Amino acid sequence: MSFNRRTPLLALAAACALAAGLPAQAQTAMRSSISVAQNSHQGVGIDVFAKEVDKRTNGRIKIQNFYSGSLGGELQSVEAVQLGTQELTFTSTGPVPNFVPAARILDIPFLFRDKAHARAVLDGPIGQDLLKEFESKGFKALAWGENGVRHMTNSKRAVNAPDDLKGLKMRTMENPVHIAAYKGFGIIPTPMAFPEVFTALQQGTVDGQENPLSVIMAAKFDQVQKHLSLTGHVYSPAVMLMNKASFDKLSAADKQAFLDAAKEAVKANRARVDEDDAKGVTELRSKGMQVIEVDKAKFQAALTPVYAEFEKQFGKANIDKIRNFK
């Protein structure tokens, strides 16, 4: 008898909970991070991703985003995702070769003709095959995004030609391919986590750095760098990484929701890169930077000896496959 009396009460309590808008199912919280500011091409990417995941899982899965390296630089974040102490990160490929050596080939200077070529390679079979390489290393790579085309800045002198780079102490990403190339220019490469770069430039620990216009603007490097040379020496991909065990635990529908959310995030991320590239030079000039157009062919020619090494390392056929992709 008491059971019958309580049943309507339980039903009423459940109805009240639903009427109050309380979730019928427990929420899952996940963390994601970037090393640059929220108002940036990467910030737009992870914000759209979080919103899309929320929408596609009816609010069951919430992504909490962290910006400006507040959970550590890119290397630490990728490591945390691999270990599972953090579920997601959106990172440039800077530190990725330390975890997934096959991705190193993408960081070869002057590999891509332009952003359209790079995007076609990454979205096509070459890029999709590379995403699968992450799985044996503890990651689910959800999608290729974009960091942008990298240019050089410094506080010492105008860089018009490759010889002007000799002896400059430049912060580089923690990436073996980049370091080999910059040594080829006569640069003294100084690998450093991104959150430390502004202070290092401000204090003169390093003379310069290299990054896409999106990053140069988001990080306010115009405050500590005078000269910007539009070298366009490396196309820098980004990748949205998830801890593989966390991805594997999702239902089939939620896995698809994450993959679809990543696609939307990449659209927004690339659109912001295009916007930043279109207005970046004017904006940085207005903030006092001296912007120099360079002859890229001279910079490419200066790396001829390094290319011979890259061909040995990666195989000429593999490099040409990317170079000639249409």
Percent of the chain with pLDDT over 70: 92
More confident call, 57 vs 9: 57
For the stretch 152-186, pLDDT in tens is 999 999 999 999 999 999 999 888 999 999 999 99
| Whole-structure pTM value | 0.89
Q: Evaluate if residue 99 carries a pLDDT over 70.
A: yes
Instruction: Give the helix, strand, coil percentages of the chain, each rounded to 5.
Output: 55, 20, 25
Mean pLDDT of 223-244: 98
Q: Evaluate if residue 89 carries a pLDDT over 80.
A: yes
| Domains of the chain, first to last | 25-323 (3.40.190.170)
* pLDDT for residue 17: 46
Report d(CA 230, CA 294) in Å as an integer.
6
Mean pLDDT of 259-280: 98
Percent of the chain with pLDDT over 90: 91
Give the dihedral sign, CA 208/209/213/218. negative
* pLDDT for residue 295: 97
* pLDDT for residue 113: 95
Which residues neighbour 75 within 8 Å (Cβ) at sequence distance 6 or greater? 94, 95, 98, 174, 193
For the stretch 32-74, pLDDT in tens is 999 999 999 999 999 999 999 999 999 999 999 999 999 999 9
Q: What are phi and psi of 216, to 5 degrees?
A: -60, -40
Q: How confident is the model at residue 25 (pLDDT cuts 50, 70, 90)?
A: low
More confident call, 17 vs 127: 127
* pLDDT for residue 174: 85
* Mean of per-residue pLDDT scores for the chain: 93
Strands, E assignment, the chain: 28-33, 61-66, 88-92, 139-154, 169-172, 188-191, 208-212, 227-243, 290-293
